[in-house]
Structure 1
Amino acid sequence: MKNPINKIGIKILMSLTISVCSLLGCVEDDSIAPGMGRIKFEVSTTSGIMKNVSGRILAPNTLTFTSGKIVIREVVFDGDTGGQSISRTIEQIATIDYSTGKVTPSIFVQVPAGEYTSVNLGVELQDEDNKPSVVIEGTFVNSENKSIPVRFEFNSGEVFEADAARVTIKEGEDIVGKITFDAIAWFSVVSASELEDATLTNGVIVISENKNSDIFDKVADRLDVATQAVFQ
């Protein structure tokens, strides 16, 4: 004879599931609750060439970034609507492919529909182990026209924030909150001569807290300043 179903246990499990989804913003069957809209978190990257930026990088010197990854752990949305402040936090470890901007897994923030002011979108980098949360790779062509691999490593719980004056979120619809991570802009404060003189590690210009730290400090200071966001 089969054991009877433990109804109390089922109720507890359902309660825990609802609580977790409330905290993390999950939506069953990818649906949007009545009176709500969603912000889809997306990323734009720049895999371009820095050449003759403010007279710092001059031909034949070129710096190009083409690949890498950025690991995040949290996305936060804050805004005011209808006389109240709305704040949503999605705790989700996700990886951004620098070459494509693709975010895996996808992240949605569900919020009440309405006209929002004083909007803020924040993204926190993963910072729980010794692995760098940001790794961007490319090449530097020096004055001898030799191509040298470049690897930028950043390991910190940095929070990137971007503001918008006004955003409209419609019921049952998605809008995109897109943040731009632009390694070319990060390196705009680095001169060609600094890259020429950088120390190589197995033939690679590694820029991290422990390697070529003078260049690293300049780039790290630019990360937050050069990060932008738009809602569309």
Structure 2
Amino acid sequence: MPTTFITGANKSLGLETARRLVEAGHTVLVGARDPERGRAAAASVGARFVRIDVTDDASVDAAVADVAAHEGGIDILINNAGVLGRVGPVEEFTAADMREVLEVNVVGIVRVTHAFLPLLRTSPNPVIVNVSSGMGSFGLTQDPDRVESRYALPLYSASKAAVTMLTTQYAKELKDIRVNAADPGQTATDFTGGVGHSVAEGAESIVALATIGAAGPTGRFVDRSGELPW
């Protein structure tokens, strides 16, 4: 059965995705920064914990070495770790605020993907899922009928727009790997203050992309209802 590594999987969407994939028969590796929380989360769903801080090269390299020693390779990488970043008056945002968000949400994906590519390429059917957001879509944030148009989150939205574009560009270059972006939608997590649909519903698009068959799509941006505008 497939082996799946998920970053930021000690809670919320990451943990729900882990639970669903364990139920589907995957060997799941719960990646998280905090060992205590990570081990507890992994144990709660029948997964294995691997410590990883997506902002730290040494931590990511250690995680790769851990997985190589125990599982030998992976089939699916889910880049789920992310931060909301500073919210409030845009006049108060600084370059440091933007840098912090990009380091996790965008640079972290590049760092983790680069490090795990050799392990992904041991798989006959490698898949990468990047967790993006409708808040990074020009189409959705400008559509008055969509909930995304009701919020202004400059730092987070800019980072997720970058995640979606990064996904499409990686899909063009990594022709041996299917690379897609998932939008969980407005999900009731700490990011939204508990507003939105359930975490189970939010995880559906991530799980769907993680379990696509060998003939599945690449370079797509989808939510649980289908393809989304960029």
Q: Which has the higher contact order (CA 8 A, sep 6+)?
A: 1
TM range (shorter): under 0.3
Scaled by the length of structure 2, the TM-score of the pair is 0.27
Which is richer in strand? Answer: 1
